[in-house]
Structure 1
Amino acid sequence: ELQSVYAQTFSYLDEEGYTASGVSSQYAYNDAACPANQVLATRVVPPLLCPTQAFDMTDPNGYGLTHYLPMVYTDIDPATGIVNPSKRKAGAMRLGGIAVSAIKDGMSRTIAIAEDSGRGSELVNPSMISPYSDPVFTNGTALVWNGTKQVTYSQWCSDNHLTSQGLPAGDTATPSGHRVFNRWAEPASAGGVSGQPNSSLAKLIQPVNGNRTPIGGPPGCPWSQTNCGPNEEIFSWHNSGANVLMCDGSVRLLGDEIDPRVLRMLITADELDIYDDKAVP
């Protein structure tokens, strides 16, 4: 989508300063065609930042950041507990959205947003690359959601009689042309949970705060690799887990020793999984 989860929910917060005149949901947040989008996207939003964040991260282009990851999907295998793309299942913050009535697994038993306070970007250290191309950095060739399917940003602009003006003056694109996924205005600030990729049937790596040490990740799973450490995974600097926001509005500390198969059940919204509450540390 062209708007992040946060941009779509700010109007429901009872606080001033999270909106700006002239903002357009038709343009990408970093398209120079709509300067008001950049005005809003550079605002620091304290509720989206975790006080325990270990790194002094600032965006070199001045955009506001987030330390939290809306749950789009999980592809943890329900039987083995390791990543299996063929077992991908949507979460509550899925592409296109979901009605509250469709969250069959229960609002209090489904994660909406989870902590990911170690996530960086290509532009800061520790360097992490988003798996998704940026529509502005790639001159319109990256895909965006038009409400029914994915199309290129150029096609989206053409279909809606819009003219992209590319990157704002002074902004820096990532070397890869991929998105900066720790910006709150970036739609790719939401993502999927796969568990640590060096997890195996012989040795399951904890899916919360996995590969936490050393800083930057172990040789077999550097944080620059997707899903290693805090790269698109649930991660915090708390001693025993990470905070998660459930769909009913409650906040819980999810223990880092949780079985990845149980974590999958907490992320999927309508798989009708049944788990014992005692299985959630």
Structure 2
Amino acid sequence: MHFAPTLPPTTRPARRAGFTLIELLVVIAIIAVLIGLLLPAVQKVRDAAARMSCQNNLKQMALALTNYEVRNGKYPGSNTFGPYNGWPVLILPDLEQEAVRNTYVATANWYDAVNEVPRNSKVKTFLCPSANGARSGRSAAPGGPASYTAAAWDYSNVAVVALALLTDLGYQDPSAVWRGVMSSQGSTVAQITDGLSNTLLLVEDANRPEYWVKGKRVSDRDPSFGGDGTATGTLVGGTWADHDKGFGIEGTSADGNTFVGPCAINCNNSFEIYAFHTGGANVAMADGSVRFLREGMAIRTLAALGTRGGGEVVPADF
């Protein structure tokens, strides 16, 4: 007797379990939390990189100005008159910008038609990555209301300190010395008696001609001093080629809206030290070193750093 072989029971592939809606929501929530944790870290890295790039810009310009001083026996003046040009034109070769310098006609004014192409040339060293690099600067021609646009920059030099105003309000001690390193006549090294490492050379003054106060852009009113020669007016001076370069340290009110006052750093970008870095602004000292001045610095300390020979006592940890 033969028996038919017993066949194994039919086997079916096991069904793969999928994600339930709740599980998907949990995964999405976890991813959202991770992104929320990572974004601040990524932003901090970007901010740090921009700050370092900005510091490098100041370092290059400070070294270029040092080379100029060695060649000419003094630092250039803050402004030039007849023809009207800015001192950045003088250091373009030291910044490896010979192409721009060779097309710039220094015997003409910066706003003349012959200089239209070079004055609109963007120079990377003159732009801080934390600011709006796509903007154009704007500055007024001397002796008239005409305003000209040109390539922007985010820096400036300290020409003077408004000692009379600061002293009257009790923010500074009386002093006969109010000039900075790059005043209208410039300075020799011998005139910087406060010490090169204790004297400001270059500072950030970013995003002009946009008007910024305490981290917010202001578009519904003009600054109380705009740099156009009037008590109130349009914010100008934000082009690297123009003759309107340096400014006077005077501080603002605590809210940043009016001059003169105790607020020293990142209060107002209308011819004051202003940057888009968290907690402070970069500056270059006359010895070529670059420092980060923190918000909250006393205007008295900043004014002391601005003069070339006031003999003030500056805190070691400024």
Range into which the TM-score falls when normalised by the shorter chain: 0.5 to 0.7
Q: Distance in 2 between matches of 1:12 and 1:55?
A: 22
Q: 1:7 aligns with which of 86, 89, 96?
A: 89
RMSD of aligned Cα (Å) = 3.5
Query: Is 1:28 aligned to residue 106 of structure 2?
Result: no
Shift of 1:198: 6.0
The residue type equivalent to 2:109 in the other structure is: A
Q: Distance in 2 between matches of 1:48 and 1:199?
A: 28
1:209 corresponds in structure 2 to 266
Aligned length: 212
Q: Distance in 2 between matches of 1:270 and 1:70?
A: 16
**Higher gyration radius (CA):** 2
Deviation sequence 1:157-206 (CA, Å, 0-9, x none):
xxxxxxxxxxxxxxxxxxx7x78310111121321121005689xx9642
Shift of 1:256: 1.2
1:130 corresponds in structure 2 to 226
The residue type equivalent to 1:71 in the other structure is: V
Shift of 1:5: 2.2
Q: Which runs of 5+ in 2 are unaligned?
A: 1-79, 139-147, 212-216
The residue type equivalent to 2:247 in the other structure is: G
Gap change, CA 1:45 and 1:83, over 3 Å in 2: farther
Query: Share of identical aligned residues, percent?
Result: 24
1:277 corresponds in structure 2 to 316
Q: Distance in 2 between matches of 1:255 and 1:99?
A: 29
Match runs of 1:120-269 below 5 Å: 120=209, 126=219, 130-133=226-229, 180-197=236-253, 205-210=262-267, 229-269=268-308
Greater RCO (CA < 8 Å, at least 6 residues apart): 1
Match runs of 1:111-122 below 5 Å: 111-120=200-209
Gap change, CA 1:188 and 1:236, over 3 Å in 2: same
TM-score, scaled to structure 2: 0.58
Q: Distance in 2 between matches of 1:234 and 1:274?
A: 21
The residue type equivalent to 1:111 in the other structure is: L
The residue type equivalent to 1:31 in the other structure is: D
Q: Distance in 2 between matches of 1:195 and 1:260?
A: 6
Gap change, CA 1:44 and 1:55, over 3 Å in 2: closer
Q: 1:89 aligns with which of 163, 178, 181?
A: 178
TM-score, scaled to structure 1: 0.64
